[in-house]
Structure 1
Amino acid sequence: MAGEEEAAVAWRGDKLILRGLRFHGTHGVKPEEKKLGQKFVVDVDAWMDLAAAGESDDISDTVSYTDIYRIAKSVVEGDSHNLLESVAQSIANLTLLKHPEISAVRVKVEKPHVAVQGVLDGLGVEIFRQRKA
C-alpha cells in the first residue's frame, strides 16, 4: 500500500477532475443493500497531457468529462458488487481500457448514508491505478 501512496504523490501535472458524481446502486454485503440500494458518491481524477487541448481548444485533443461520467454511472448503476473496492477498481479499469491517453486514475467511492452508530459524512474507499508499462 505504501507503494501506491508514493505513486499517487508522484503524479503531478495535467488531469481531468470529476467531483461529487451521485448515483443509486445496489452494492454491499447486506441483503437490504442489494435489494433496496442506496446513494453512492464518486470522484475521479484522470491524468493525461492536456497541452494539445489547451492549444487547440478542440475536444478531439482531450477526453470528454462525459465519457468518464458514463463509465462511473455504468459501473455504479450496473451489476451489484459486494465491496466498494471492487466498484472503484471497475471504474478505474474501464477508464484506462477505454482511454489509452489516460496514464493514471484515482477513484473515490463513498456511501454517504450507512448504518453505523455515530456521526459521519460517509464511508468509502479511494484507489490509485496507473497504466502498466
Structure 2
Amino acid sequence: MEAVGSGIPTGDKLVLIRGLKFHGFHEVKPEEKTLGQKFLIDVDAWMDLRTAGKSEDLSDTISYTAIYRIVKEVVEGQSQNLLESVAQMIVSKIFTDHSQVSAVRVKVGKPHVAVPGSLDYLGVEFIRYRSIDVPN
C-alpha cells in the first residue's frame, strides 16, 4: 500500500461505513455534554483483498458489523472534548482489532452546530497508516 500525491492510500479498499449515525456526548460545551447530539461517521479500510476475492470466506476480510461495533462503542461511549479524540479512538481500535488493516480513514461529522448559515455538517477526517502511525 502506498500513498499517492493526495496522501490517500492506494490498493484494495473496503468502503465500510457511510453516514452511520449515533447519539453521543462529545464536545466542550456543557450543554453538548448534557444533551448530546448526533454524529455522522464514515470509515474506510485498506488491506489486501485478493484472498477474500478468491475464497469468498468472511475470515479473509473484515465484517462490516465488527467495524459498526467499534464505532458504536466509541461514539456512544465515554464523552470526549474533541472530535479529534473520537476519530483517533476509532482508528486505534480498528488497528488493534484488525491486524490485516494497513490504513484507515475515519470521518466524524457533527451536523447540528451553532454557526450562522446552512451546512450539512462540520468535522474531522483522519487517514492513518499502520506502518507510520501504529507501533508494531
The reply to whether TM is greater than 0.5 is yes
User: What's 2:38 paired with?
Assistant: 39
Q: State the alpha-carbon separation in 1 of the partners of residues 5 and 128 from structure 2.
A: 12
What secondary structure is seen at the aligned counterpart in 2 of 1:132? helix
Over residues 20-68 of structure 1, what are the superposed CA-to-partner deviations in whole Å (9 max), with x where a residue is unaligned?
1110000000001000000000000100011111101110111111111
Q: Cα distance, 1:132 vs. partner?
A: 2.8
What secondary structure is seen at the aligned counterpart in 1 of 2:94? helix
How many residue pairs align between the two structures? 129
RMSD over aligned Cα atoms: 1.6
4+ long deviations beyond 2 Å? 4-9
Q: Which has the higher helix share?
A: 1
Mark the runs of 5 or more structure 1 residues left unpaired by the alignment: none
Mark the runs of 5 or more structure 2 residues left unpaired by the alignment: none
Q: State the alpha-carbon separation in 2 of the partners of residues 130 and 6 from structure 1.
A: 15
When normalised by structure 2's length, the TM-score is: 0.90
When normalised by structure 1's length, the TM-score is: 0.92
User: What's 2:60 paired with?
Assistant: 61
Query: Does the C-alpha gap of structure 1 residues 8 and 45 become closer, same or farther in structure 2, counting only changes over 3 Å?
Result: farther
Q: State the alpha-carbon separation in 2 of the partners of residues 86 and 96 from structure 1.
A: 15
Q: State the alpha-carbon separation in 2 of the partners of residues 77 and 38 from structure 1.
A: 10
